[in-house]
């Protein structure tokens, strides 16, 4: 889609909201979330909505759930702490 030359070995995968929710649910190690759940990323020290997380596909085939601030922030789902888990 983008005309600019790719300098990276990854791309952000766009998904429909339902599809994305399913992907997030499968990826997230701490289990079911609601669409308005938020998480705190220990890399950028910011709180994001879980549905704003980026799905990033790498050339080696890996697909990772990453921080909403990707690529500025390289935090992955493993670097999140969940805010509504108390
Ligand atoms: Zn982050």
Per-residue pLDDT, averaged over 41-61, amounts to: 94
Residue 50 neighbours by CB under 8 Å, 6+ apart: 24, 28, 33, 35, 37, 38, 39
Q: Rounded to the nearest whole angstrom, what is the distance from the C-alpha of residue 80 to the centroid of ligand 1? A: 8
CA of 45 from ligand 1 middle (Å) equals 6
Look up the pTM and report it: 0.80
Q: How confident is the model at residue 86 (pLDDT cuts 50, 70, 90)?
A: very low
1 C-alpha to ligand 1 centroid (Å): 25
What is the pLDDT at residue 37? 86
- For 15-46, write each residue's pLDDT tens digit: 998 899 889 888 876 666 777 889 999 999 99
Dist. CA 53–CA 35, nearest whole Å: 11
- Across the range 45-64, mean pLDDT stands at 94
Which residues have CB less than 5 Å away from ligand 1 (the ion)? 41, 43-44, 67, 69, 73, 75
Q: Is the pLDDT of residue 53 over 70?
A: yes
């Amino acid at each position: 889609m983008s005309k600019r030359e790719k300098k990276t070995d990854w791309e952000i995968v766009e998904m429909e909201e339902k599809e994305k929710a399913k992907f997030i649910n499968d990826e997230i190690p701490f289990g079911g979330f609601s669409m308005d759940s938020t998480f705190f990323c220990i890399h950028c020290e910011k709180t994001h909505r879980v549905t704003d997380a980026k799905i990033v596909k790498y050339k080696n085939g890996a697909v990772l759930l990453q921080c909403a601030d990707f690529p500025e922030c390289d935090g992955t789902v493993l670097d999140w702490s969940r805010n509504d888990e108390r």
